Structure 1
Amino acid sequence: MTMQSETADIATLISRCSLRDRQAFRTLYQRTSAKLFGVVLRILRNRAEAEEAIQEVYIKIWQRADRYVAGQYSPISWLVAIARNHALDMVRARRPAGDDLDAALDIADAGPDPERLTQASEDGERIEACLAQLEPDRAEAVRGAYLDGYSYEELAQRFAVPINTMRTWLRRSLIKLRECLTA
């Protein structure tokens, strides 16, 4: 069987799967599972996980076979993309958040739209106006704690006051800010 006829044959099997042809699905599995298992195993690096993943991959293939457009993609590329994406999803799910900054490149931008940016800008102006009503050292302490992430202890040292005094400054300043923002 030539490479071109094998590709056409796999495309036909996927099309038949979209019609819920179980025999075509079995044949597709027999012809492609070794390759897809290799893809999944390379990503997951765990044979047991890869075996579980490959079953889920073929469930997705069965469910999504109607989405394959012959001629738009190579059928093997389409199958490999499903396997690869599923394996990557599994890696992301088992990894604690923030582990890999490169993964952030794959995440859609959840940033605010222009309307929300305008609203945030207006809110920022209101907050700055309310901060200006506080005593300068209190406003600086609030910015340090809530914008720069300084701890109570770090702020107490910075302003040369006891830690409980710093807590009181911040608590009272936040109360004044809330009153100002809700007025």
Structure 2
Amino acid sequence: MATREEIETYIDRVALGDRVAFAALYNATSAKLFGVTLRVLNNRAEADDALQEVYIKVWRAADRYQSNGLSPMTWLITIARNHAIDRLRTRKKGQTGLDEVAELADQAPGPEQQAIASSARAQINNCLDALPADRAEAVRRAYLDGDTYQDLADAMQVPLNTMRTWLRRSLIKLKDCLSQ
């Protein structure tokens, strides 16, 4: 097992984004941290998943580690233990008995709701088709695909303010079309 100083050095280097130090830290401490997660979760597969998530947390939080004379393993074990407990709580919260499941309502839309949604979808598509093709594409990409205004402006080779104007005017036209 690595010494306290070596583990602290690994953590310091991980804080700087050193992947080699991260691999060394993993090799030096993963067995112990796996034991911690396994003891809390009592499930090998889940403990293994939790261990991977713990090291992601260590990678992201390494810059917050402060050498204070205590063992760096205490810091790592605390992260692992707390993460495993959080997973355990989430797992327990998600469990329901068979009696409770029988009383759950089906969340899927019924035939009437599906017909209404289909009609609304068709109306929206008709209104989008009434827009110029580039405007309709911009609206779909911005509001359905999540593209940013800047991404759209770059893709369509127009200034950012032009893209904003296109989208605003297109939404006004869609609102008018949908209200008819």
So what's the TM-score if we normalise by structure 2? 0.50
Displacement of 1:73: 3.6
Secondary structure class of the residue paired with 1:36: helix
C-alpha deviations, 1:6-31, integer Å up to 9, x for none?
00110110000000000000000000
User: Which one-letter code corresponds to 1:79 in the other structure?
Assistant: L
Aligned counterpart, 2:10: 13
Rounded to whole Å, the distance in 2 between the matches of 1:51 and 1:41 is 8
C-alpha deviations, 1:29-69, integer Å up to 9, x for none?
00000000000000000000001000000000000000100
Structure 1: tracts of 5 or more residues without a match: 98-183
Q: Which one of 81, 86, 91 corresponds to residue 89 of structure 1?
A: 86
Rounded to whole Å, the distance in 1 between the matches of 2:69 and 2:56 is 22
Aligned counterpart, 2:23: 26
Aligned counterpart, 1:80: 77
User: Which one-letter code corresponds to 2:54 in the other structure?
Assistant: V
C-alpha deviations, 1:69-99, integer Å up to 9, x for none?
01254200000000000000001111138xx
Residues 136-175 of structure 1 correspond to what in structure 2 (within 5 A)?
none
Rounded to whole Å, the distance in 2 between the matches of 1:29 and 1:71 is 21
Larger Rg: 1
Q: Which one of 11, 15, 36 corresponds to residue 39 of structure 1?
A: 36
Rounded to whole Å, the distance in 1 between the matches of 2:23 and 2:60 is 14
Aligned counterpart, 2:159: none
User: Which one-letter code corresponds to 2:29 in the other structure?
Assistant: T
Residues 114-129 of structure 1 correspond to what in structure 2 (within 5 A)?
none
After TM superposition, where is structure 1 displaced by more than 6 Å over at least 4 residues in a row?
Answer: none
Aligned counterpart, 2:52: 55
The number of aligned residues is 95
User: Which one-letter code corresponds to 2:39 in the other structure?
Assistant: R
Q: Percent of pairs identical after alignment?
A: 56
